[in-house]
Amino acid sequence: MTNLTTDSLDCAVFQQQGLNLSAVLNIEALPHNLTQWISEEERCRYSQLLILGHGGTQLWQVIQAQRHLRGVDDPIDQFVGEVVANSLGKTDTQYTLVYPGPRMVDLQAFGRYLGWHEDTPFLLGMHQQWGTWFAYRGLVLMSSTFVASEVILQSQKSQCECCEELPCISACPANAISMSHFSMDLCVAYRKTEMSKCAKTCLAREACPVATQHRYSKEQMDYHYELSRLTIMSL
Ligand code: B12
Ligand code: SF4
Ligand code: SF4
C-alpha cells in the first residue's frame, strides 16, 4: 500500500480514462450549500471530496472498448466506480461513492463553484473548453489529505453573454427557451410527443456554436437521451 495522503492525487489516471475533469476539495473550506447533504458521521470520517466529470467523446470511446461492460444497464456509472476503486485502492484512503448513487446532490452547484459551469438559457451547464458537451460523473467522499485543487474564478464574460444570435432559443421546437425563463414543462411535454424531433437529442444543444468539435457521437447521444426520455416518460 502506498500512502499518498500528503501528496497530490494522481488525476492523470482519470484523464486517461476519459474522466478529463477532476478536482479535490477540502470539505471544511466549502460553502454550506455544497456540503449540507454530508452527515455528521461522514464529517468525522471524511475530510475531502473528489469530483469527476467528462467532456467530449473520450469517455464514451474508452467505455466502448471495455468488453466486460457490454450489455450492462449502466456502463458509465459502473466504469466510474471501477476507476475510482482502482485509483483510491492504491492509497490508504477510505471513501464513499456518493454519485453515482441514490443520494440527491446538486452537481451543477459544484460546477458553478469550480468554474466548470456557466448558465445557458436551457439550463444545461456550459464549460469554457467543452461547451455544453460535458457532464458530472463522480462525487466521492474521501478520508484523505491530498493537495486540494485550485479554484479559479472566471473573470471574463460567459459564452452566452457574448452570444448575439442565440441560436439555441430559435432551434427549440417547443418554444421552451427564452433569455429569462426555461420551461421544463414545455420541453418535457414536447419530448413525450410521438413526432418529437427531440426524442434522442436536444436541438437547442445541437444549435449552440460553442465547442462543436466536442459534440457527442450519435451513439453517445442516443444512449443519454434515451435514458432521459425513459425518465421523463415516467414523470
Ligand atoms: C432531475 C434531473 C433531470 C430531470 C429534470 C426533471 C425535473 N423537472 O425534475 C430530467 C430527467 C428531465 C433530466 C434530463 C436531462 N438531464 Co438532468 N439532471 C437531473 C439531476 C439529477 C438533478 C437536477 C436537480 O434537481 N438539481 C437540484 C435543484 C436544486 O436545482 P434546479 O436548478 O432547481 O434543478 C432543476 C434543473 O436542473 C432541471 N434540470 C435537470 N436536468 C436538466 C437538464 C436540462 C437540459 C434542463 C433543461 C433542465 C434540467 O430540473 C431540475 C429540477 O426541476 C441532475 C444531477 C444532479 N444530481 O445534480 C442532472 C443534470 C442536471 N442533468 C444533466 C443532463 C445532461 C441531462 C440531459 C441532457 C440528459 C443526459 N443524460 O444527457 C437531459 C435533458 C433534459 C431535456 N431537455 O430533456 C446534467 C447536466 C450537465 C451539465 N452540463 O450541466 C446533470 C448535472 C447530470 C450529470 N450527471 O451531469 N435531468
Ligand atoms: S447558442 Fe448562444 S446563448 Fe445559446 S447556449 Fe450557445 S452560446 Fe449560449
Ligand atoms: S430537448 Fe428539444 S424541446 Fe427540450 S429544450 Fe432541447 S430543443 Fe427544446
The DSSP-derived string for 56-101 is TTHHHHHHHT-GGGTT-SSHHHHHHHHHHHHHHHTSS--EEEEETT
CA distance 177 to 205: 11
Q: What is the pLDDT of residues 183-219, one digit of tens each?
A: 999 999 999 999 999 999 999 999 999 999 999 999 9
Task: Report the nearest-CA residue for atom 51 of ligand 1.
Answer: 184
Cis peptide before 102 (omega within 30 of 0): no
Backbone angles phi, psi at 96, to 5 degrees: -130, 130
Q: What is the pLDDT of residues 27-69, one digit of tens each?
A: 999 999 999 999 999 999 999 999 999 999 999 999 999 999 9
Q: 121 in ligand 2 pocket by Cβ < 6 Å?
A: yes
* pLDDT at residue 155 in the model: 75
What value does the mean pLDDT of the chain take?
A: 94
| Mean pLDDT, rounded, for 5-20 | 87
Instruction: Please determine, for residue 3, whether its predicted confidence score (pLDDT) is greater than 70.
Output: no
Backbone angles phi, psi at 166, to 5 degrees: 50, 55
CA distance 54 to 84: 14
Q: What is the DSSP letter of 141?
A: E
Residue 106 Cα, ligand 1 centroid: separation in angstroms?
9
| Residues pairing with 24 in the sheet | 50
* Sign, CA torsion 77/130/33/45: positive
Q: What is the pLDDT of residues 156-192, one digit of tens each?
A: 899 999 999 999 999 999 999 999 999 999 999 999 9
CA distance 162 to 17: 33
* pLDDT at residue 45 in the model: 98
Instruction: Please determine, for residue 119, whether its predicted confidence score (pLDDT) is greater than 90.
Output: yes
Using DSSP, state whether 188 is helix, strand or coil: helix
Q: 120 in ligand 2 pocket by Cβ < 6 Å?
A: yes
Residue 228 Cα, ligand 1 centroid: separation in angstroms?
9
Instruction: Please determine, for residue 101, whether its predicted confidence score (pLDDT) is greater than 90.
Output: yes
* pLDDT at residue 2 in the model: 42
Question: Residue type at 128?
Answer: Q
CA distance 118 to 129: 11
* pLDDT at residue 4 in the model: 43
pLDDT band for position 86 (cuts 50, 70, 90): very high
Write the CB contacts of 182 (distance below 8 Å, at least 6 apart in sequence).
121, 122, 123, 176
Residue 175 Cα, ligand 3 centroid: separation in angstroms?
8
pLDDT band for position 6 (cuts 50, 70, 90): low
% pLDDT > 90, the chain: 88
pLDDT band for position 90 (cuts 50, 70, 90): confident
